[in-house]
Structure 1
Amino acid sequence: MDDFSNPPSVEEQRRFRRRPVLWKGHVDLSTHRLECRVLNITPGGLLAELELPLAAGVQVRVLLPNVRPLSAEIKWYADGLHGLSFSEPPAQIRAAFGNKADALGFNIAPDPVQ
């Protein structure tokens, strides 16, 4: 298993309700664009498969269809999956998704931490 950092704690994992999706998109680094497949998304971040492993702490822009570019940071990588945290406040992420935010459950209160 390639692991560039520790996976997030249970508290971080449950900050928002995850919405399973299967979207194609791109992740822009300073000089490269990688294809990605988004597996779940929240107002706080997303889970994605990328073409190449990226280390925790790398700053990226996430490009999804019909959504403005979103700034994010790679938080962890394990078993081919990347956890990304959006760099913008959840309210701005909700606004970026427009009408899709309601369908994705972004306007619902986060799950309580157990």
Structure 2
Amino acid sequence: MTTFTAADDDYVPRPVSVAREPRLTTILLLGRMVTAGGDWVCRVRNLSSGGLMAECDAPLTVGEHVRIELRNLSVLQGAVTWTQPRRAGMMFSDPIDVPTLLHGGAQDPERRPRAPRLSATCPVLLWHLGQTTVPLLRDLSQSGCRLGITSPPPVGTQVRVTIPGLAARHATLRWSCDGEAGFAFTEMLSFDELSAWQADLSARFAAE
């Protein structure tokens, strides 16, 4: 659930030559941060028309260009202006309209929100009716995963998925097409679980 209030004491640090914006929104938006080194799940905490503050474990440097894809399908692009452990500030390439970003398209059926998905290429254990197979994980979100699988069971099938670095989870097959299948977890991953998992690149991309 997204909530927001005006905040005067909590702000995104900006270059000295740029005046602080009078309006800033304190929020909680989940997103996928894409950098030159890969993709990372993040939480946007502060947002203004010119920039934001995000919580993320990505190894960022000042001046680095990044892209953040939000759950509502909006995309924010800009450069890192400051970094702290697990936090960073970002200045947008172009100013945004905050109300439109937060609420625009909410009634558009063609823009259905989706949980941020992290890319991966690692083998997982898929259990179904006493049989175990080892498909490849293609991507992972808090709510489910996409697997590369040649002979998936019927849609609606209940399975158990064990992903390296995470506890086994029950899931339901939602779709399959062209050698891939999407599964929805019965119990969602927490943000902290997904954040810890994404950092182990040797396990996350074990098949590369």
On whether the aligned pair clears a TM of 0.5, the verdict is: yes
Alignment-derived partner of residue 112 in structure 1: none
Distance 2:141 2:111 in 1: 15
Task: Find out whether 1:25 has 2:124 as its counterpart.
Answer: yes
Aligned residues: 91
Alignment-derived partner of residue 196 in structure 2: 100
Distance 1:52 1:95 in 2: 31
How big is the alpha-carbon RMSD for the aligned residues of Structure 1 and Structure 2? Answer: 2.5
Alignment-derived partner of residue 45 in structure 1: 144
Name the larger-Rg structure: 2
Distance 1:98 1:44 in 2: 11
Task: Find out whether 1:71 has 2:170 as its counterpart.
Answer: yes
Distance 1:66 1:37 in 2: 15
Distance 1:24 1:33 in 2: 12
Q: How far 1:39 moved relative to its partner?
A: 0.5
Distance 1:70 1:96 in 2: 16
**Structure with more of its chain in strand, by fraction:** 2
Distance 2:191 2:126 in 1: 20
Q: How far 1:16 moved relative to its partner?
A: 0.5
Q: What SS does the aligned partner of 1:97 have? A: helix
TM-score relative to the length of structure 2: 0.39
Query: Does the CA-based 8 Å contact 2:155-2:175 persist in structure 1?
Result: yes
Distance 1:102 1:25 in 2: 15
Query: Does the CA-based 8 Å contact 2:150-2:180 persist in structure 1?
Result: no
**Structure with more of its chain in helix, by fraction:** 1
Name segments (4+ residues, structure 1) moved above 4 Å. Answer: 101-104
Unaligned runs of 5+ in 2: 1-109, 201-208
AA aligned opposite 1:24? P
Percent identity between matched residues is 20
1:84-99 aligned at under 5 Å gives the runs 84-88=183-187, 90=188, 93-94=189-190, 97=193
Structure 1 window deviating more from structure 2 (47-56 vs 21-30): it is: 47-56
1:15 to 114, 135, 138: 114
Q: What SS does the aligned partner of 1:76 have? A: strand
TM-score relative to the length of structure 1: 0.68
AA aligned opposite 1:39? R
Q: What SS does the aligned partner of 1:100 have? A: helix
